[in-house]
Amino acid sequence: MPLPRETRDDQDAISRDKPHTLRAGLPKIRLSISALARDHYSYTSANPITNIMSSAQPEQSRLMQAALNVIEAYNSWDLDNIMATRAPECIAQILPKSLGRPEMGNTAYSQYLSTMMPAFTGFHVNVNDIIEDTKNNKVNVWARSTADTPVGPYSNEYMLVFHFDDKQEKLIKFYEFVDSKYSAEHFGKMREFAEAKAKEAAASA
């Protein structure tokens, strides 16, 4: 969506006063959130995304709102909310491919999340950068998530690729690039924890 033109003086003032950088007149719109302001602009249910974004994009596009709805659904950490952002034909995959994770339809992805979610409390997504491609109904998000788990704090980094339907409302493809080294280490600890608990339960039975 085209953004209103501003004079060079206006642009300089915006860059000094706000932690956002907007690029107008291009098919892709990039939104950056500085590290200093990230706590204030983090995306949580208590601090609605629509209100946060209004100061940066007075006329927020349908595609950007759809992407932020996906982030907000994960911040709610509610399975129904997360699945509601997906079209029936949506495909999800955790990448890179070296992890060996298969593509998942909605049924498989829902089952995957439902088994994983109880081990993560206080799950929260912080967005560092968003690039919107309205021509191809695609949004790229650089983000970090944090949570508490039985084996200690969880903090992973992601590059998320959202492909939306022609109405720019529902996800049809969801690609999640993760910090594979960190993921292998943390989930390895969680598997060991679960196995130890299972042995304890079997011993006391």
Short-list 156, 142, 144, 143, CA closest to 187:
156
Q: Would you place residue 139 in the very low, low, confident or very high pLDDT band (cuts 50, 70, 90)? A: very high
Q: Which domains does the chain have, with CATH numbers?
A: 8-204 (3.10.450.50)
For residue 127, is pLDDT > 90? yes
Q: How confident is the model over 32-44, as pLDDT tens digits?
A: 333 323 333 333 3
Short-list 138, 141, 142, 140, CA closest to 168:
138
Rg for the chain, CA atoms, rounded? 19
Q: What is the pLDDT of residue 193?
A: 83
- Does residue 156 contact residue 183 with C-beta atoms inside 8 Å? yes
| Full 3-state SS string of 73-121 | HHHHCCHHHHHCCEEEEEEEEEECHHHCCCCECHHHHHHHHHHHHHHCE
For residue 186, is pLDDT > 80? yes
